[in-house]
Chain A
Amino acid sequence: MSTSAFRGTSDYIASPDLQAAVNVAVSLERPLLVRGEPGTGKTLLAEAVAESLGMRLITWPVKSTTRAQDGLYVYDTVQRLYDSQFGEGDPADVAKYIRLGQLGESFAAPERVVLVIDEVDKADLEFPNDLLWELDRMSFHIPETGETVSAKQRPVVIITSNAEKELPDAFLRRCVFHYIAFPDPLQMEQIVRVHHPNVEEVLLRQAMEGFYLLRELDGLQKRPSTSELVDWVQALAVAGVDPDTIVDELPFMGVVLKKQADLDIARRHMAIRARRAAMQQEKS
């Protein structure tokens, strides 16, 4: 292996599975497809990989209207027509109107870079297929200028997906795949500590308990993820909430649950719990 192995960074905790997947993808020079629930740190992963391997990061955020062509290059026809009409610039020089997209840029870069194609499933179904050839060969042709852009160093390609759409098989076969599972409490504790190194032990433990309790509630529309917990711990710490009351009262619940319907479910759950506790107290 030419580069050193990826082991996570000081503020990004990577599980051994994830480290293995990244390292396999980097050394086999295949795109790494990362899938997982929203909020499991897929996009952050690319930043962490770039940081830990000491490479530049190029981000290509995909939207529903993004086409594969946009990532290669854009030929600004309108500008050229405009220039030819009003005599500004030099419309004879086609190359001036060709702008490389993110994929093109990562090929053209003199050094090895990390390219993240973010949320690939947002785009049209055909989008990944349209990129197959370019990702395989790491080169493409620009007919307008007769130029071929090919990668000097094959970039490390990381592709993230929320699984909103299925991806084509031909595309999947060429990728190394990793599914980021939702962190278990042990990993979660590490992650929160990275963000809040000075958080009180008791507060963190209580907040985690409350968080997993909320997350496991039945019928939630949007289950809270890591970033919500991180924010919540922050809110609890700043407000100086008494840690012992956290699980019972779940203060600032709006930080964790974002939908009205979810909040209602949580309140109903709390009411039931309170009633049960009262009944038990009566008995004893």
Chain B
Amino acid sequence: MFEGLFTALRDEGVPVALDEWLMLHEGLERDLHESTLSGFYLMSRAVLVKDESHYDGFDIAFARYFSGIEPAGEAVDERVWKWLEENPHFLHISDDQRAKLDAMRDQLELDELLERLREKLENQEEEHHGGSEHIGTGGTSPFGHSGYHPGGIRIGGYGRWKSAVQVAGDRQFRDLRTDHEIGARDFGVALRRLRQLSTRLDGPATELDVDDTIRQTADHAGQLRLSFRRPRRNTVRVLLMLDIGGSMDDHILLLDRLFTAMHQASHFRDLQVRFFHNCVYDRVYSGVDMSPRQSESTESLLAQLDPDYKLVMVGDACMAPSELLAPGGAIDYRHMNEEPGAWWLERLEQHFTRSAWLNPHPKRWWDTIHGAYTLNIVRRIFPMFELSVDGLDQAVRHLMVRSAA
């Protein structure tokens, strides 16, 4: 049953597994949806969707499978909207009345309902409020708004008694999609994955080592010897290099959030942050204002940092080709670089075992954007990911893969 919904969900990228599908059918058998479409909507959502960012995809799939929602909205012409907007009546309905209506409702099939709506749209000549048949407000007809009809179609107004298909058509969970909305918190969640636990670090031994305690106690002829060990800690160290200024200004909000998330993720063993403008050359900066006083040579930085630091580069990688490929190409004219930027990027990439480049431009633009030429050169040097929650997630996975060495 409902296999079409299953496929529609998968098409929308909602990961539905077979166990969940079976769970849904178990629910159907027990009539947990109370044989209503809205009940089915709520039940299937609770069982099939495990992440609020997929609520929207679910709504789209649901609306498409129980189709005909969008067409109904489009077919409503101006004349009808006018009736509905100009003189809204609100239906005040007591719980008793509602129960009565619920009991005697003619639960129409959606097709039939839409057919009737189509008829009404063609034939209804004037406003009609508070009734039970025509399009209008504050009545118990299935069409219009501010009234009550179980399983009706709301046209305009605000949902008061929402029913399933319409709610799905509303797409009220659009804001929760992860491929759009990115907050510091979401970044934080992705960053949590950057961890590698080990007991080999320094620190006070505070955890009771039961096995060793028993061994030691046995060795001392039964005299209790407590043995402690160091708790496990995250060993991941991160070098974050940010492109600031120029073309990156457009992404300042996004960067700010990433930065906040990085700093809040207090679980790193060490977090180093450096700045550069467009491309890295022989010097990197530790202050946002990029004053030479707060700079150090890139080589000495590499010498200080162990290759097991995870290198995270953030930048749009869009620049003039000379900035990347020619000696003396640095955008800052006071700065004369002997070697082209690309060499420095390669040097960085080779020094660290794992590295990733985060690009604030959406991936689909990478081939066509102004600056695509340099972007694609950089992309050949560094594995590049887009700076979205999903992209960061992939980048983090990439960083955590253990190298063969």
Contact = CB atoms under 8 A, between A and B. Distances in A.
Contacts of A24: 27, 32, 42-43, 46-47
A174 B19 contact: yes
B102 to A, nearest CB: 13
B217 interface: yes
A27 B30 contact: yes
Contact of A23 (B17, B32, B193): B32
Contacts of A163: 185, 189
A247 interface: no
Contacts of B55: 179
A174 B47 CA distance: 9
Q: Is the interface of B mostly helix, strand, loop or mixed?
A: helix
A21 B19 CA distance: 17
B192 A20 contact: no
Interface in A73-126: 77-78, 81-82, 84-85, 125
Contact of B50 (A25, A28, A33): A33
A176 interface: yes
Interface string B36-47: 000100110111
Interface in B194-241: 208, 210, 213-214, 217, 222-224, 226
B389 to A, nearest CB: 10
B308 interface: no
A235 B20 CA distance: 47
A85 B47 contact: no
Contact of B189 (A81, A165, A169, A179): A165
Most buried by B among A24, A172, A175: A24
A28 B39 contact: no
A275 interface: no
Interface string A1-24: 100000000000000110011011
Given A17-B42, A24-B47, A35-B52, A173 B20 contact: yes
Given A164-B192, A165-B192, A173-B20, A81 B213 contact: yes
A272 to B, nearest CB: 20
Interface string B8-29: 0000000101011001001100
29 contacts: A17-B46, A20-B39, A20-B46, A21-B42, A24-B32, A24-B42, A24-B46, A25-B46, A27-B27, A28-B23, A28-B27, A28-B30, A30-B23, A77-B210, A77-B213, A77-B214, A82-B224, A85-B222, A85-B223, A164-B185, A165-B192, A166-B192, A172-B50, A172-B51, A173-B17, A173-B20, A175-B50, A177-B49, A181-B173
Interface of A: 1, 16-17, 20-21, 23-25, 27-28, 30, 33, 35, 77-78, 81-82, 84-85, 125, 163-166, 169, 172-179, 181
Given A20-B46, A24-B27, A82-B224, 4 more contacts: A21-B46, A169-B15, A173-B50, A177-B51
Interface of B: 15, 17, 19-20, 23, 26-27, 30, 32, 39, 42-43, 45-47, 49-52, 55, 173, 176, 185, 188-189, 192-193, 208, 210, 213-214, 217, 222-224, 226
